[in-house]
Amino acid sequence: MLINGQLKYESQKLAMNYFRVAIVLFGAQLLMGLIAAIQFLYPGFLFELFDFSVARMVHINALVVWMLYAMIGSVYYMIPDETGHEAVGIALGKLAFWILTAAVTVVVLVYIFIQVGSGSESTIWFINEGREYLEAPRWADLGIVAVVLVFYYNVFFTYLKSEKKTGIMTVMVANLFALAGLYLCGMFFTDNISMDQYWWWWVIHLWVEATWEVFVGTLAAYALIKILGAKREIVEMWLWIEVLMLFGSGILGLGHHYFWIGTPEYWWEIGALFSALEPVPLVAMFVHVLYDWGKEQGHAEAGGADTAVKNSPAMAWIASNAFGNFLGAGIWGFFHTLPQVNIYTHGTQFTAAHGHLAFFGAYATILIGMMYLGVQGAYGIKKMTMTFKSKMALFLIIFGVLGMTVALTIAGYEQVLVERADLGGGWDAFFIAQELPWYVQAQAWRLVMGIVTLVGFVYLAWDLLTIGQEVSQKESESVAATA
Amino acid sequence: MWEACTDVACGNLFAWLNQGPLTLTIFLHTVVVIPMFFIYFQEKKRLEEGGE
Amino acid sequence: MSKKSASVWTSIPFWRRSAAWVTGVATVLLIWLTFDTMGQISMGSDEDLKNGVTKRIPAASVINYHIDYQFDDKRGHEVPVIGEKEPFFGKEWSAEEAAKLLHLGKLTSQAKNCMNCHTLLGNGAYYAPDLTKAWLDPKWNDGTMTGITGKASKEEAMAEFLMHPSQYPTHARMMPNLGITKEEAVALVAFLKHMSAIDTNGFPRNFSQSAKRLEGGTHAH
Ligand code: HEM
Ligand code: HEM
Ligand SMILES: [Fe+2]
C-alpha cells in the first residue's frame, strides 16, 4: 500500500493517500474502543486521566473520519475509470488532503490532551462541540466544509467533462451533493435540546440510512464491474432500483428517532412503518451481489477459466458487505425500530450492538474492499488472490465484530428486562442492571471479542502493506516461467 | 366515526390524519407510490412506440 | 408505427424516473413534516406557563415550578405535569434570568461532553444513567443524595455532586471531576430540570418503579 507505481492518474494516487490515513485512523478507533471496553469492567482504569467519555469520543470520531477518508478515496479512485479523465482540479485536491489531515491531527490532539473546556462558546469553537459523532469543534467544521467543497468541485466538473455520463457517476454526483449538504444541519447551537436532537438526526440518520447507503450501492456497482466484469446495463438498473427503495424508505424512516425526543406522536406511525421497510433494499442488494457473482462465475467456468474474480480479497469483503449490511442494519435495525419495542430498548446496549454491526457490516467491509482494489491498481496486478494474512484478517475481524455484537445484544436484552421493563429506568435501576452477572459477563466477552478484532486488524494492515508486493512478484515469476 | 385526536397539539393535518392505527402512514405511502403507476404506463407507451 | 412488446421492468429510464419521483416526494413530505414539528417543538413562553398552556418544550422559566411525571389515561403513558411555583436555589428567576441560565447549562453540557457517558432523551452513551428525567429521580428526592452531600435542597445537592462527583460515589463506576464551576453547576441543574419538563411521549416508561419496590431490597440481586 506504500507505493503508487502503476497508477496512471494523479486522482488515483491521491486516493491511495486517503486510504493510508483511513487505515491508521481505523487502528486508532479500535484502540480507543478497547480502552472504553476495559473501563466498563474496571472503572478505575485511567479514571480522571483519560475518562470513558474521552475514549468513546475519539472512538466514534475516528470511526466517522476514517470512513469519510475512505469514501473520498474511493471516489477519487473511480473518477478516472468512470469519466475517462483526470480529476480537473487535482492540485487543489492534493492541497485539500494535506489541510484536512493537518486539521484532523490537531482536533485529535486537542480531544486527547485538553478533553473538556469551560461552559462557553469558545469551547464549542475550539475544543469540542459535545454532540455525539459531531464533536468536531466549529473551526474544524468550517475547515471540513472548505475541503469538501474542493472535493465536490473535482467530482462535479470531471463528471461534466466526461463524454458519456455513466449511471454510476450520475448517482454519485447527486448523492454526494445531499451527503455534503446534510452536514450543515449539524453546525448550529441551540438551547432547546429537542430542537438540537431533531437536526442532529438529520445528519446521522440521513447519512447512514440514506446517503451513505446509496453511496455503498454505487461503490458496489462500480466494484462488481471492475472485479467481475459484470454487465453495466444490469448493474446500473439495479442501482436505480436501490436508490428508489433506499430513499423511499430511509428518508421518512428518520421518524424512528423522533419517538421520544419531544417531537409529536405522529412520528410513531411514520417512523415505524417507513423504517420497517428499510431492510427491503438491503435484501435486494444482497441478492444482487450474489446473483452477479454467480452469473459471472458461471460464464467464466463455461469459458474454461477457473474464476471470474479479478481480486479475491476485495470480492470477499464486498460479499461480506452485502450480507453484513443486511444483518447489521436490516435485521438488528428492525429489531428495535417499532416504538412498542423501542420504548424499552432506546439507549441500551442493544443500540450499541446494532451500531457496531451496522457500521461494520454496511461500511467498514466495503471500504476495506476498495482499499484492496487500490492496492491491485497500484501494483498493476492482473489477478489478485488472497494471502494467508488476507484470510486471517477477514476471518478474525468478522468473527470479532459478530462476537461483540452478540455479547452486547445479550447485555441489552438484560437491560431491557431488568432496568427498563421491571424497574422502569432511573439511577438505581440502571446500576442494578449494570451489576448483574449476565451484563458483566457480556461486557467481558465484548472485551475478548474486541481483542480478536484488533488482532484481525493487525493482519489487515500488514496484508495491505505487503500483498501488492507478494502477488505482483508471483505474477511476474509465472509470466517469466511461461515465457 | 373518528376517535378523538390523541396528539398533544391537534390543530395540524398530520395529527388529524393520525386518528387510528396506520391511517397516517398508509396515506403517506399511497402518496409516494401511486404516481409510479403513471410513470409505468408512460414508459410502456414510449417503449412500445419504439423510443430509445 | 407497429407496437413492440417491451418490458418496462427492465427499462433503466423507468427506474430512474421512479427513483427521482419517490426521492423527491419523500423529501418534500419530510420538509413539510419538519415545518409542522418545528412549530410544536419550539420553546414555549413565560406567558404560556403563567396561563397554564401546555407546551411540549416549556420556557426556561419552568424551573420556577414544581414538575411531576404522571400517568395520563387519555394518552396511555406518563406525561410531565407542571404544578405550583417552588423556589429554585432559594429564589424565583425572571424569564430573562432563567433563559440565560438554561443557555449556560446547555452550553456546559456540551463543553463537558455529558453525552459521551450519559444519554439525554435516550441518545448518547450507555456508560451512565439516562438524564432525561434525572431531576425527578428518587435518588435526589428520597434523602440519599441530600444526605451524602449534606445539602438542604435537591438542587443544591445536585450542584454539589456535579462540582465534585468523585467525592460522592454511589458505585465503583464514578463520574469524573470535569472542572465544573459553581455557576456552571447551577446552570446544569436548571438544564436538567427543564429537560424533565419536556413531553417525551412517555419515555422512560414506568419511570423509577424501582423506587417503591426497592425499599427493603430487590429481588434482582
Ligand atoms: C448501515 C446502516 C445503519 C447504521 C450505520 C446504523 C447505525 C446506528 C447507530 C450508530 C445508532 C445509535 C445512534 C446513537 O449513538 O444514538 C442507531 C440507532 C438506531 N437505528 Fe440504526 N443504523 C443503520 C440502519 C438502520 C436500519 C435499517 C434500521 C431499521 C430498520 C435502524 C434502526 C435504528 C433505530 C430504531 C435506532 C435507535 C436506537 C435507540 O432508540 O436507541 N438502523 N443506528
Ligand atoms: C476493538 C473493537 C471495539 C471495541 C472494544 C469497541 C468498544 C466500544 C465501546 C466501549 C463503545 C461505547 C458504548 C457505550 O456507550 O456503551 C463503543 C461505541 C461505538 N462503537 Fe465500538 N468498539 C470496537 C470496534 C468498533 C467497530 C469495528 C465499529 C464500527 C465499524 C465500532 C463502532 C462503534 C459505534 C458506532 C459506537 C457508538 C454506538 C452507539 O452509540 O450506539 N466499534 N465501542
Ligand atoms: Fe435511523
Kindly state the average pLDDT of the residues A448-463: 98
Q: What residue spans define the domains of chain A?
A: 1-164, 310-472
Residue A419 has pLDDT above 90, yes or no: yes
Alpha-carbon gap, residue A39 to A369, rounded angstroms? 32
Angle at C80 between CA C147 and CA A419, to 5 degrees: 60
CB atoms within 10 A of CB A70: 27
Alpha-carbon gap, residue A219 to A171, rounded angstroms? 11
Q: Where are the alpha helices (DSSP H) in C131-181?
A: 138-141, 144-149, 154-163
Q: Would you place residue C1 in the very low, low, confident or very high pLDDT band (cuts 50, 70, 90)?
A: very low
So what's the pLDDT on residue C161?
97
From the number of C-beta atoms within 10 Å of its C-beta (0-12, 13-18, 19+), residue B16 rates as middle
B8 and C199 within 8 Å at the Cβ level: the answer is yes
Q: Whose CA is nearest to atom 5 of ligand 1?
A: A359
So what's the pLDDT on residue B18?
80
Q: Answer yes or no: are the C-beta atoms of A448 and A403 closer than 8 Å.
A: yes
**Fold annotation for C45-213:** Cytochrome Bc1 Complex; Chain D, domain 2 (1.10.760)
Tell whether ligand 1 has an atom less than 6 A from the beta carbon of residue A336. Answer: yes
Q: Answer yes or no: are the C-beta atoms of A117 and C110 closer than 8 Å.
A: no
Contacts with B44 from chain C: Cβ below 8 Å: 6, 8
C-alpha dist (Å) from residue A108 to A10, A28, A29, A129, C107 = 29, 10, 11, 13, 21
**Does residue A280 sit at the B interface (CB-CB below 8 Å)?**
no
Tell whether ligand 1 has an atom less than 6 A from the beta carbon of residue A134. Answer: no
Listed in order, strand segments (DSSP E) in chain C are 65-72, 77-85, 119-120, 123-124
Q: Answer yes or no: are the C-beta atoms of C80 and C87 closer than 8 Å.
A: no
**What is the longest distance spanned by two Cα atoms in chain B?**
55
Q: What residue spans define the domains of chain B?
A: 11-50
**Does residue A195 sit at the C interface (CB-CB below 8 Å)?**
yes
Q: Answer yes or no: are the C-beta atoms of A405 and C190 closer than 8 Å.
A: no
Tell whether ligand 2 has an atom less than 6 A from the beta carbon of residue A454. Answer: yes
Interface test with B, best of C4, C8, C56, C82 (most B CBs within 10 A): C8
Per cent of chain A over pLDDT 70 is 100
Q: Which three cell numbers stand for residue C145?
A: 443524595
Q: Which three cell numbers stand for residue A24?
A: 491508521
Nearest residue, CB atoms, C25 vs list B8, B32, B49: B32
Question: First-to-last CA distance in chain A?
Answer: 29
Hey, is C165 helix, strand or coil?
helix
Q: From ligand 3's centre to the CA of A252, what distance in Å?
A: 10
Tell whether ligand 2 has an atom less than 6 A from the beta carbon of residue A63. Answer: yes
Alpha-carbon gap, residue A271 to C45, rounded angstroms? 29
Residue type for position A384: M
**Does residue C28 sit at the A interface (CB-CB below 8 Å)?**
no
Kindly state the average pLDDT of the residues C200-213: 82
Eight-class DSSP state of C113: T
Q: Which residue of A has its CA nearest to B33?
A: A248
So what's the pLDDT on residue A293?
92
Confidence check on the interface: ipTM exceeds 0.90, yes or no? yes
Q: Answer yes or no: are the C-beta atoms of A233 and B52 closer than 8 Å.
A: no
So what's the pLDDT on residue C215?
55
Alpha-carbon gap, residue C205 to A395, rounded angstroms? 41
Residue type for position A481: A
Kindly state the average pLDDT of the residues A20-36: 98
Eight-class DSSP state of C180: -
Kindly state the average pLDDT of the residues C159-188: 96
Q: From ligand 1's centre to the CA of A204, what distance in Å?
A: 9
So what's the pLDDT on residue A19?
98
Q: Which of A67, A144, A201, A369 is nearest to C121 (CA)?
A: A201
Hey, is C123 helix, strand or coil?
strand
Each residue's pLDDT tens digit, A202-219 = 999 999 999 999 999 999
Q: Would you place residue C4 in the very low, low, confident or very high pLDDT band (cuts 50, 70, 90)?
A: low
**Does residue C54 sit at the A interface (CB-CB below 8 Å)?**
no
So what's the pLDDT on residue A306?
85
Residue B7 has pLDDT above 80, yes or no: no
So what's the pLDDT on residue A31?
98
Each residue's pLDDT tens digit, A244-278 = 999 999 999 999 999 999 999 999 999 999 999 99
What totals of helices (H) and strands (E) does chain C contain, helices first?
8, 4
Q: Whose CA is nearest to atom 17 of ligand 2?
A: A33
Nearest residue, CB atoms, A116 vs list C103, C104, C178: C178
Each residue's pLDDT tens digit, C43-66 = 999 999 999 998 999 999 999 999
Q: Which three cell numbers stand for residue A383?
A: 489477478
B22 and A269 within 8 Å at the Cβ level: the answer is yes
Each residue's pLDDT tens digit, A30-69 = 999 999 999 999 999 999 999 999 999 999 999 999 999 9
So what's the pLDDT on residue A375?
96
Q: Whose CA is nearest to atom 17 of ligand 1?
A: A355
Contacts with C38 from chain B: Cβ below 8 Å: none
Each residue's pLDDT tens digit, A286-315 = 999 999 999 999 999 998 888 889 999 999
Three-state SS annotation for chain A:
CCCCCCCCCHHHHHHHHHHHHHHHHHHHHHHHHHHHHHHHHCCCCCCCCCCHHHHHHHHHHHHHHHHHHHHHHHHHHHHHHHHCCCCCCHHHHHHHHHHHHHHHHHHHHHHHHCCCCCCCHHHHHHCCCCCCCCCCCHHHHHHHHHHHHHHHHHHHHHHHHCCCCCHHHHHHHHHHHHHHHHHHHHCCCCCCHHHHHHHHHHHHHHHHHHHHHHHHHHHHHHHHHHHHCCCHHHHHHHHHHHHHHHHHHHHHHHHHHCCCCCCCCHHHHHHHHHHHCCHHHHHHHHHHHHHHHHHHHHHHHHCCCCCCCCEHHHHHHHHHHHHHHHHHHHHHHHHCCCHHHHHHHCCCHHHHHHHHHHHHHHHHHHHHHHHHHHHHHHCCCCCECCCHHHHHHHHHHHHHHHHHHHHHHHHHHHHHHHHHHHCCCCHHHHHHHHHCHHHHHHHHHHHHHHHHHHHHHHHHHHHHHHHHHHHHHHHHHHHHHHC
Contacts with C173 from chain A: Cβ below 8 Å: 43, 431, 434
Q: Which three cell numbers stand for residue A360?
A: 461494520
- Whole-model pTM: value is 0.95
C99 and A343 within 8 Å at the Cβ level: the answer is no
Q: From ligand 1's centre to the CA of A208, what distance in Å?
A: 8
Contacts with C57 from chain A: Cβ below 8 Å: 192, 194-195, 262
Q: Which of A50, A459, A236, A281 is nearest to C11 (CA)?
A: A236
Each residue's pLDDT tens digit, A331-366 = 999 999 999 999 999 999 999 999 999 999 999 999
C87 conformational bin, left if phi > 0, alpha if psi -120 to 50, beta if neither: beta
So what's the pLDDT on residue A72?
97
- B vs C, Cβ pairs < 8 A, gives 56
Tell whether ligand 2 has an atom less than 6 A from the beta carbon of residue A33. Answer: yes
C127 backbone dihedrals φ, ψ, rounded to 5°: -90, -20
Kindly state the average pLDDT of the residues A86-104: 96
Tell whether ligand 1 has an atom less than 6 A from the beta carbon of residue A152. Answer: no
Lowest model confidence (mean pLDDT) among A145-159, A172-186, B28-42, C204-218: C204-218
So what's the pLDDT on residue C219?
47
Pairwise pLDDT comparison (B26 vs A79), residue with the higher score: A79
Each residue's pLDDT tens digit, A149-189 = 999 999 999 999 999 899 999 999 999 999 999 999 999 99
Kindly state the average pLDDT of the residues A135-142: 94
Residue type for position A238: W
Kindly report the average pLDDT of chain A as a whole number: 95
**Does residue A273 sit at the B interface (CB-CB below 8 Å)?**
yes
So what's the pLDDT on residue A483?
67
Interface test with B, best of A265, A273, A274 (most B CBs within 10 A): A265
- Name residue, grid cell 486527547: A112
